[in-house]
Amino acid sequence: MIDLAAFYAAVANEGALPHPHAIDSIEADGHTVFQYPNSPLPFISAADRTSFYQLKTMLQGVVARGTARAIGELSPYVGGKTGTSEDAIDGWFIGFTNDVTIAVWVGYDNGDGKRRSLGTTATGARVALPILEPILQAIWAGGIAPKALLNGPSPEAKHYLVDLSIDYNSGYRSGKNRGFVEHFRLGPDSKMHDTQNQIIARNSLDNHEVKVKRRQRNHENHQAFARADAQANGWGWWNQDRSFFQDQYNSNYSQQVRHRDTGNFWRERSY
C-alpha cells in the first residue's frame, strides 16, 4: 500500500515520484540534527507529464461519476480509485489531492494462509471509501493541507492536450456545454487523431485481417441487439444468439450481455 500511495501521489504530481518516509526532521536542544533532504523529486520515466495528467483526470472521474461517486461532491478536489480483490479478500481506496495522498485497505491479516473474505457484498467502495472522507475532512479542518481544486495541467502537459465534451451515456462527443470534459492528446502534428477503435499497432502485419474480423463482430453484435430489442418479453433472444455470445472473441462479455441495461457496455467494449 505504501508503494501504491507513492505512485498515486506521483499521478497527482504529473509523474514526480515522492519517496515515502516517516521522519521529516529531528531536533535536539533547539538544533536540527536531522533534516530529510528537500531535493527535487525524480520523474517516472514510463510516461510523460501529459499522460500522467490524463490519468489524473480519469481518476478524478472515478470520484465524480464512477465507483467512488459516493463522495462525488469532493470530485473537484479529489481523485482516486477503488479496488476489490477476488472473492472480496481485500477492499481498498486510494485518494489524492494536490498535497495529500491517503491509502485505505480493509481486510483480514490472513497470516495463517487462510483467505478470509470480507463478504459477498464487500467492495472497496463499500468498506474502504467511507474511511477516507473523515480523514480528509480532518486534514482540511486542521489546516494540515488546504482544500483546493485539483491543479490543471502544467504548461508542458497542456501543450499536447485538447478538451472535448463527452456524452455520459454514449461515450461519444457531445455538443458544447453538454456531458463532461475529457482531455485528449494531440499527435506529433498537433492534431487529434481518433483512435477509439485502433487497439493494435498500425504497422502490424495482421492489421487488415483484425480490422475485418472486428467489423464482422460489430455487425453481428448490432444484429443480435436488434433482434433482442424486437422481442419485448422473455430471454428467447439469448438462446437465439448463444453461439455468437459464447464464441472465442466474446466469451468474456457473455455475462454482461444477458442484462439488457448493460447493452451500452457491450457495444462500447466489443471492439
- Report yes or no: 207 and 200 within 8 Å, Cβ to Cβ: yes
| Choice between 126 and 218, residue whose per-residue pLDDT is larger | 126
Same domain, 15 and 137: yes
39 part of a folded domain: yes
The answer, yes or no, to whether residue 234 has pLDDT greater than 90, is no
Work out the pLDDT band at 253, boundaries 50, 70, 90: very low
According to the model, what pLDDT value does residue 270 have? 36
86 part of a folded domain: yes
The region of weakest confidence among 23-27, 77-81, 152-156, 193-197 is 193-197
Q: Which domain holds residue 137?
A: 2-141
Helices (H), the chain: 2-12, 49-65, 124-127, 129-141, 155-158, 207-230, 236-240, 242-245, 254-257, 263-269
According to the model, what pLDDT value does residue 172 have? 81
Cell of 61: 472521474
Q: Give the domain CATH number at 78.
A: 3.40.710.10
As beta bridge partners, residue 61 has: none
Work out the pLDDT band at 167, boundaries 50, 70, 90: confident
Where do we find the cell 457531445?
174
101 part of a folded domain: yes
According to the model, what pLDDT value does residue 226 have? 56
146 part of a folded domain: no
- Out of 113, 141, 169, a domain closes at 141
The answer, yes or no, to whether residue 52 has pLDDT greater than 60, is yes
Rounded to an integer, what distance in angstroms lies between the CA atom of residue 185 and that of residue 200?
A: 18
Rounded to an integer, what distance in angstroms lies between the CA atom of residue 19 and that of residue 164?
A: 35
CA distances from 213 to 217, 219, 230 (A): 6, 10, 26
- Out of 120, 141, 162, a domain closes at 141
The answer, yes or no, to whether residue 206 has pLDDT greater than 70, is no
> What is the end-to-end Cα distance of the chain in Å, rounded?
34
According to the model, what pLDDT value does residue 245 have? 42
163 part of a folded domain: no
CA distances from 98 to 80, 137, 217, 222 (A): 12, 14, 44, 44
pLDDT (mean) for 153-159? 95
According to the model, what pLDDT value does residue 244 have? 42
Same domain, 22 and 130: yes
Most confident of 91-95, 174-178, 230-234: 91-95
- Out of 141, 161, 189, a domain closes at 141
Same domain, 6 and 135: yes
240 part of a folded domain: yes
Q: List all residues 6 or more positions away from 153 whose beta carbon is below 8 Å from its beta carbon.
A: 14, 49, 50, 53, 161, 183
